[in-house]
């Protein structure tokens, strides 16, 4: 990811959720680069759910 060198990522690997955080940031970067950022600020999906999709408050629980 831009802005961080190999030493930074080596240090970060000590944390248990590093890979998950990196995947999240890559997804955000992917969506933002394509104009898919959620409208209306943080939380929710910005109206990107398929029609008929149940509404949820905040993030659903992890499947883990």
pLDDT at residue 14 tops 80: yes
Q: What is the pLDDT of residue 40?
A: 54
Domain containing 18: what range? 1-33
Domain membership flag for residue 44: no
Domain membership flag for residue 39: no
Q: What is the pLDDT of residue 34?
A: 87
Q: Report the number of distinct structural domains present in the chain.
A: 1
Which of 62 and 7 is assigned the larger pLDDT?
Answer: 7
Radius of gyration of the chain (CA): 15
What's the pLDDT tens digit per position in 27-64? Answer: 988 888 888 866 555 555 555 666 666 666 655 565 55
pLDDT at residue 12 tops 80: yes
Domain membership flag for residue 59: no
Domain membership flag for residue 51: no
């Amino acid at each position: 990811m831009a802005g961080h060198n190999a030493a930074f990522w080596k240090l970060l690997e000590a944390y248990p959720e590093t890979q998950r955080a990196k995947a999240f940031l890559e997804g955000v970067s992917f969506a933002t680069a394509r104009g898919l950022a959620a409208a209306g600020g943080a939380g929710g999906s910005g109206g990107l759910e398929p029609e008929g999709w149940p509404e949820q408050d905040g993030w659903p629980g992890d499947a883990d």
